[in-house]
Amino acid sequence: MTNRRLRNAVIITFVLAMFMGPGPGLRLVNPDASDPGATFTFAGIPIVYAWGLFWYFVQLIAIIVAYRKLWIEEE
């Protein structure tokens, strides 16, 4: 993968994570409080919190990839 394609993939991934974490993605996982069969936890933590953590880790991975592969100082 060329640096340009990798850069674009990292940017798109990071922007998507910023958008989905606190934004409309919450509506996908937030259970209806009136539904008796709704699950409110995932792995022992609230599902909305787990959703935010997932997108935080996506951002973290994008930053690590950018640091290791793209932010290289040229001499």
Q: What is the pLDDT of residues 30-67, one digit of tens each?
A: 777 787 877 788 888 888 888 889 999 999 999 999 99
pLDDT digits (tens, 9 = 90+) for 19-38: 988 888 777 777 777 878 77
Q: pTM value?
A: 0.80
Q: Count Cβ neighbours within 10 Å for each residue of 23-39 and write b for 16 or more, e otherwise.
A: eebeeeeeeeeeeeeee
> What is the SS3 string spanning 5-39?
HHHHHHHHHHHHHHHHCCCCHHHHHCCCCCCCCCC
